[in-house]
Amino acid sequence: MSQGLVIDSSWTLFLDRDGVINQRIDNDYVLQQSDFLFCDGALKAIEICSNRFQYVFVVTNQQCIAKGLLKETELALIHEDMCAQIKSSGGKITKVYAAPELKNDPESTRKPAPFMALKAQAEYPGIDFSNSIMVGDTDSDIEFGQRLGMKTVLIESKEEINSTPDFRFASLYDFSIALI
């Protein structure tokens, strides 16, 4: 990547899911495996990133659980299938973390709260947030990364953004190519 950012194999990558890895469903949720459609180039992008980063995590807000639209076991199956497809394409996801609470829940683990990253760091002590990148398409994704001292990458979408990320790309694939 340009602008003086040097990434080596000790770095960690955090990826948002909807709108970054898979196509976001406007005003709805991915509630079954057939709803989960990879964004163009996402599988190749994750393969490239898997070869550049020590860890690749998915951190995703999934309030569809708290709304009773999907069970945690069903979400786990969607994520297992996602990871299997990524693996068969040459990529890896170290682990998926999902926050199931409603947006306004005061005990929420949802982004922008740092809970999912702190949990990852507790489970994988090699994570250094100053050598980490958060890639997302919403303010909560960018704020999540900034709160932890990560570099932030915005994947441009229809979402209105008020945060200022370190980098902007049209897609996860474009971000991955910039790493080469």
Active site residue ranges: 16, 18
Q: d(Cα 171, Cα 180) in Å, to the nearest integer?
A: 15
Query: How many CA within 13 A on the CB side of residue 163?
Result: 24
Q: Among residues 79, 108, 66, which one has the least CA distance to residue 18?
A: 79
Tell me the CA distances in angstroms from 57 to 2, 80, 93, 104, 123, one per residue in order. 23, 13, 6, 24, 12
| Whether 142 contacts 133, CB under 8 Å | no
| Whether 167 contacts 179, CB under 8 Å | no
Q: d(Cα 94, Cα 159) in Å, to the nearest integer?
A: 27
